[in-house]
Amino acid sequence: MSVDAQKIEKLVRKILEEMEEKKKPAETECEWGIFDHMNQAIEAAEIAQKELVQLSLGQRGKLIEAIRKAAKENAEKFARMAVDETGMGKYEDKIVKNLLAAEKTPGIEDLRTEVFSGDDGLTLVELSPYGVIGAITPTTNPTETIICNSIGMIAAGNAVVFSPHPRAKNTSLYAIKIFNQAIVEAGGPKNLITTVANPSIEQAEIMMKHKTIKMLVATGGPGVVKAVLSSGKKAIGAGAGNPPVVVDETADIEKAAKDIIAGCSFDNNLPCVAEKEVIAVESIADRLIDYMKKHGAYEITNKEQIQQLTDLVVENGHANKEFVGKDAAYILKHIGINVPPDIRVAIMEVDGKHPLVTVELMMPILPIVRVKNVDQAIELAVEVEHGFRHTAIMHSKNVDHLTKFAKAIQTTIFVKNAPSYAGIGVGGEGYATFTIAGPTGEGLTSAKDFARKRKCVLVDALSIR
Ligand code: NAD
């Protein structure tokens, strides 16, 4: 072989190797849906979605069942990983949340067809997939949101590319891997759920701009909701809340106190629906506080200590992330108060403009504001909810008061005489979701919200009336 021929052969081999290398990402087994680059994750999900829609609805239902089963089997592991990785929340409560998402998130039964029939024939309005959905998930409910979004989005015929919170990376990636395995074992396509090995805001931005992504769903704070709504794509924004609890003079005061402490301390206040401030009419406020103490609250009465706590947990008008989702005893220790571990919530009386009231803290710290009557309570509750229209809770036996508050506050979830978590299906009727879309109005999102309405018209036939 001449020198030139050798050179050409070497060059060809190099080009072939490079081509092989380029082909790899889309084809590699990439650890069950986890890719190095966002573009690869999206391309693989696109291929998977095309395979998914070739399956029957019955087969699609089997994939949903497989995700539910895998989520239930791993509920404890997911909870342990999330607490260890994020340093937030409570193991036992996270198990409850994972099981809730696995069992009560609607599947394909959520896709209901509308029918019109008459002299001109038969028309169907059916719910069809968007294609590939980009879903951004929070650190507060990492696996719960992935379970809930995967079930709803796949039930509607989509593939989903996740952009998890970097602080919940390992937990989120593990859940994605487990669900992909379950889907493939149940006869579904590989890479129906994908993500990147190192999630970041930069990777999320690539996802938000990618032409293959037809819908974006953000579950998180105001920043990410604004980002998806500015993307120019169809978007669902499930944003922040600051749920107020109103207690009036007609309530069962001990039950109200017990329910409020239970809701506020659930997963150390991480759920966006959890009680964040109490507004109580003055005639029952003392009794309410006494009962709260009986049911696991520690009251701070010293004004200096309340200020110290405020300086500790509120940072530039936002919650100090170091204390989000921590135990009450841990937080109190930082201001020199030692309480036994069975103290679940710290309570304190403040005025309605206090930062502990107005800032969404996501900690078991519960300020109480005393007001003259129920009208003042409702007015203040509407103000401190900031128009998020997320969640509100009321303890009252007066139907007119309940109706007045519900009408005034216009929240997506309104819980009467129960802990806030009844609103997401723990001890309350109705289906579960961990993506509560107040700003964009879908409310408690499920498969029907991840689908497009399409009309199919057959003229002059099949109306048999
Ligand atoms: P976060 O806003 O810090 O992060 C949420 C996700 O958005 C993460 O994956 C993060 O990486 C990403 N992100 C943030 N800014 C972004 C941007 N500009 N572009 C692209 N991606 C971006 O929220 P968190 O601390 O993980 O979660 C707590 C917040 O989420 C609270 O405000 C809570 O009320 C809210 N939340 C709402 C719901 C709901 O259903 N409405 C559910 C859970 C949490």
Q: What would the pLDDT profile of 7-58 be if each residue is shown by its tens digit?
A: 777 777 777 666 554 444 444 446 899 999 999 999 999 999 999 999 999 9
Interval between CA 317 and ligand 1 midpoint (Å) = 17
pLDDT for the residue 15: 73
Answer yes or no: is pLDDT of 430 > 50. Answer: yes
172 lines ligand 1 (CB under 6 A): no
- The Cα 125–Cα 112 span in angstroms is 9
> Which residue's alpha carbon is at the smallest distance from atom 36 of ligand 1?
220
- Ligand 1 atom, smallest distance to 239 CA: 41
331 lines ligand 1 (CB under 6 A): no
Average pLDDT over residues 86-94: 98
Interval between CA 233 and ligand 1 midpoint (Å) = 18
220 lines ligand 1 (CB under 6 A): yes
H-type alpha helices, 252-346:
253-265, 282-294, 303-313, 328-333
Type of residue found at 121: G
Residue range 337-347, pLDDT digits in tens: 999 989 999 99
Average pLDDT over residues 198-208: 97
Is 272 one of the annotated active-site residues of the chain? yes
238 lines ligand 1 (CB under 6 A): yes
At residue 345, the 3 state secondary structure works out as strand
pLDDT for the residue 3: 55
Residue range 229-256, pLDDT digits in tens: 999 999 999 999 999 999 999 999 999 9
Answer yes or no: is pLDDT of 168 > 90. Answer: yes
* Lowest mean pLDDT across 17-21, 121-125, 282-286, 342-346: 17-21
Average pLDDT over residues 296-319: 98
- The Cα 178–Cα 296 span in angstroms is 37
Interval between CA 220 and ligand 1 midpoint (Å) = 2
Question: Between helices 91-104 and 142-155, what is the axis angle to 10°?
Answer: 0
pLDDT for the residue 19: 59
> Which residue's alpha carbon is at the smallest distance from atom 16 of ligand 1?
224
Average pLDDT over all residues of the chain: 95
pLDDT for the residue 20: 55
Q: What are the phi and psi torsion angles at 290 (to 5°)?
A: -60, -45
Q: Which of 97, 219, 273, 359 to mutate to test the pocket of ligand 1 (most atoms within 8 A of CB)?
A: 219
Contact 138, 220 (CB under 8 A): yes
Give the pLDDT band of residue 286 (cuts 50, 70, 90): very high
The percentage of residues in the chain with a pLDDT greater than 90, rounded to a whole number, is: 92
Interval between CA 322 and ligand 1 midpoint (Å) = 16
- If one compares 22 and 450, the residue with the highest pLDDT of the two is 450
Type of residue found at 316: N
Type of residue found at 459: V
DSSP string, 226-252: HHHHTSSSEEEEE-----EEEE-TTS-
146 lines ligand 1 (CB under 6 A): no
Out of 30, 148, 264, 272, which one is annotated catalytic? 272
Beta-bridge partner residues of 162: 135
- The Cα 321–Cα 86 span in angstroms is 11
Average pLDDT over residues 281-299: 98
Within 10 A of 399 (CB to CB), how many other CB atoms are there? 10
Domains along the chain?
27-239+445-455 (3.40.605.10), 244-429 (3.40.309.10)
425 lines ligand 1 (CB under 6 A): no
The set of residues, in sequence order, having a beta carbon less than 8 Å from that of 324 and lying 6+ positions away, is 88, 140, 270, 361, 362, 363
Contact 178, 66 (CB under 8 A): no
204 lines ligand 1 (CB under 6 A): yes
Answer yes or no: is pLDDT of 316 > 50. Answer: yes
